[in-house]
Chains A and B, each alone.
Chain A
Amino acid sequence: QKEVEQNSGPLSVPEGAIASLNCTYSDRVSQSFFWYRQYSGKSPELIMSIYSNGDKEDGRFTAQLNKASQYVSLLIRDSQPSDSATYLCAVRSWAGNMLTFGGGTRLMVKP
């Protein structure tokens, strides 16, 4: 079992819809959670970070964390074709500052 798991997709949503991306992790003592967006051949771009249970909103993005269920999600409202990318969930455990990534979910927003 991978430490961080995501559905590889592709997740296809129409323009203007809400895209929901999910991630589970196995290390109960993980402390910090991040969502990165990565366009093909480009570097990961940090879009959201979340550290405590609940929701965190930033513009069209909402991150949700449930430590009891070891689950973190990202909602993208009013999805745009430019949101089409791979979304990487990353987790930092107590053991060090390195990030462990999930396999990424490819999102396709269709006009």
Chain B
Amino acid sequence: AAGVIQSPRHLIKEKRETATLKCYPIPRHDTVYWYQQGPGQDPQFLISFYEKMQSDKGSIPDRFSAQQFSDYHSELNMSSLELGDSALYFCASSLVGTRNEQFFGPGTRLTVL
């Protein structure tokens, strides 16, 4: 079965640079979520989109923005990167009516030097 696709899988950036992470949800899924997982921590919810509209907002820094496009893929844009932004970034997707079972992509490991 098709899974969530994320790209790139690894990304190395310098401080103050920008980064764009991409997420392609499972086909027919209409909701996309972004989570950040720091070393030794559990995933923290950042933001989600349902039918291309922002649905929930969590602890996403103002330096970050995200959107969902007409083909349902989503992009997380990160600017003025800081050392503390180094983490695994997961995208998950779900389908309304399935009790919000969220399936996670393989993640993007971002390293900020």
- Assess whether A49 is in contact with B101, with CB atoms less than 8 Å apart: yes
Those of B71-110 within 8 Å (CB) of chain A: 88, 90, 94, 99-107
Secondary structure at the B interface, as helix, strand, loop or mixed, is strand
- Assess whether B45 is in contact with A99, with CB atoms less than 8 Å apart: yes
Those of A72-96 within 8 Å (CB) of chain B: 88, 92, 96
Q: Is A98 an interface residue (CB 8 A)?
A: yes
With known contacts A97-B31, A97-B94, A98-B58, A44–B101 Cβ distance under 8 A:
no
Closest partner residue, chain B, to A95 (CB atom): B56
CA–CA, A32 to B98, complex, Å? 11
CA–CA, A92 to B55, complex, Å? 14
CA–CA, A99 to B34, complex, Å? 11
Q: Is B38 an interface residue (CB 8 A)?
A: no
CA–CA, A31 to B64, complex, Å? 29
Question: Within the complex, which residue of A32, A43, A98, A103 is in contact with B42, where a contact is CB–CB below 8 Å?
Answer: A103
Contacts A43-B106, A44-B90, A98-B33 given; 19 further ones with Cβ under 8 A?
A34-B101, A34-B102, A42-B106, A42-B107, A43-B90, A43-B107, A44-B104, A46-B103, A88-B42, A88-B43, A96-B48, A96-B56, A97-B33, A97-B50, A98-B56, A98-B58, A99-B35, A101-B43, A101-B44
Give the interface of B toward A (CB within 8 A): 31, 33, 35, 41-45, 48, 50, 55-56, 58, 88, 90, 94, 99-107
